[in-house]
Amino acid sequence: MAITIKEIAQKAGVSRGTVDRALNGRGGVSPEVERRILDIANLYGYKPNKLAKALATKANPSKIGLISIENIFFDQVIEGVIRAEEEISDFGVTVCRRMIRGYDAKSQLEAINSMVYQEKVDALAISPVSDRQVIARLAELAAEGFPIVNVNMDVPFSKKLAYVGCDYFKSGRTAAGLMGLITGERAQVGIISGCGNVMGHTQRVEGFMSVVKNEYPDIQVVDIADSYDDEQRSYDAVEAMLRQHPQIDALCFTTGGAGGGLKAAEALRGKRLRIVAFDQTPITERYLMDGLIKAIVCQQPNEQGYQAIRLLFEYLMEGERPASQQVLTELTIKIKQSMESESRGGAR
């Protein structure tokens, strides 16, 4: 059993109230006494009891804000957030969610301010776009000590609590590795990229190229097109690419939202193309089961949402910053058979 405030108070020869003040930096404790208390707490590895704390602070419970993007991929992030919500609701901590349509900086700025000033949240989880003003605002808040976690999308500012998401560069490398495996390391590849102002998509392409360049002399990346995460534009991009480069026999889609592009690929070439894609969405899932896509490199959006909220919760409850500012979720690869849902059952 861990040491309690009461025990520390005894050992230090002071009252519980004083220990509480010292431990939580509420001020009003003489430096000398504070030192003594902190030393004892440290020595015995004091960890506050979350339960007791939650019970005691039930009067003014904490609130976490979440600002995310409105689309099928982020729905999975939200699922994880909700899972975390259920776990922490017992502690009186609530989550206020806000979904934003598209990757719009203005709306994000508005949402941030609304969260802070209207909803008066105590912490923020956000999937920020790479926008100068958004970054500046987040940096400012973080500098004031406001806890912020970036989920799934990352932007640079030093005082953030953490980034929870995947390693996009590595996911690009993984896609290239898969491409090597399924093509016998010989292919003419076309890449269909996602949205320009989403940093992750760019990094995926870079990761992909790094492997092709260094490890697969017989794989050429013939063309790279941008789909702008739009149905029609991705259809057109793929159609144009395949017409212009008839030698292309493999495709890599760096975004899970390019249903149009996949449709074009199927229409023009059918299953002769070897296709690798990213992210499990209803679209990629369908084409994987269908056999058009051979493999998908997935992040774990559900886990990301869950971890982001948990991290903020731990911070609010115990004041503990995560061990690393980069909390990377594992990459997982899916193929048809690993996606199938039916089980033959095991022991009863």
Out of 45, 59, 118, 323, point to the residue binding DNA (CB under 7 A). 59
Residue number with CB closer to DNA (21 or 137): 21
User: Is 90 a binder of its own copies (CB under 8 A)?
Assistant: yes
CA dihedral 333, 335, 339, 345 (to 10 degrees): -100
Site map (CB under 8 A) of its own copies, residues 193-212, x = contact: ------xx--x--xx---x-
The residue among 140, 231, 159 whose CA lies nearest residue 192 is 231
Residue number with CB closer to its own copies (267 or 289): 289
Q: Which stretch binds its own copies (CB under 8 A): 49-57, 65-73, 188-196, 242-250?
A: 49-57
Residue number with CB closer to its own copies (33 or 182): 182
**Least CB distance to its own copies at residue 235 (A):** 27
Ranges within 282-341 binding its own copies (CB under 8 A): 294-295, 297, 326, 328, 330-338, 340
| Residue 279 CB partners (closer than 8 Å, separation 6+) | 73, 255, 256, 296, 297, 298, 299, 301
**CA gap 309, 307 in Å, rounded:** 5
User: Is 336 a binder of DNA (CB under 7 A)?
Assistant: no
Q: How far is CA 338 from the centre of its chain?
A: 23
Asked whether 283 and 263 are in contact (CB, 8 A), the reply is no
Ranges within 60-119 binding DNA (CB under 7 A): 60
**CA gap 314, 49 in Å, rounded:** 12
User: Is 132 a binder of its own copies (CB under 8 A)?
Assistant: no
Tokens at 331, concatenated: 């990459």
Tokens at 19, concatenated: 């220990």
| Residue 114 CB partners (closer than 8 Å, separation 6+) | 98
Out of 10, 11, 44, 53, point to the residue binding DNA (CB under 7 A). 53
Q: Which stretch binds DNA (CB under 7 A): 18-26, 170-178, 211-219, 274-282?
A: 18-26
Out of 1, 132, 342, 347, point to the residue binding DNA (CB under 7 A). 1
**CA gap 287, 289 in Å, rounded:** 5
Residue 292: helix, strand or coil by DSSP?
Answer: coil
| Residue 228 CB partners (closer than 8 Å, separation 6+) | 194, 195, 196, 234
Out of 25, 39, 43, 58, point to the residue binding DNA (CB under 7 A). 58
The binding site for DNA (CB under 7 A) comprises 1, 4-6, 13-18, 20-21, 23-24, 27-30, 32-34, 46, 48-49, 52-53, 55-60
The binding site for its own copies (CB under 8 A) comprises 1-2, 49-52, 54-55, 89-92, 150, 154-158, 163, 167-171, 173-174, 176-178, 181-182, 184, 199-200, 203, 206-207, 211, 294-295, 297, 326, 328, 330-338, 340, 343-348
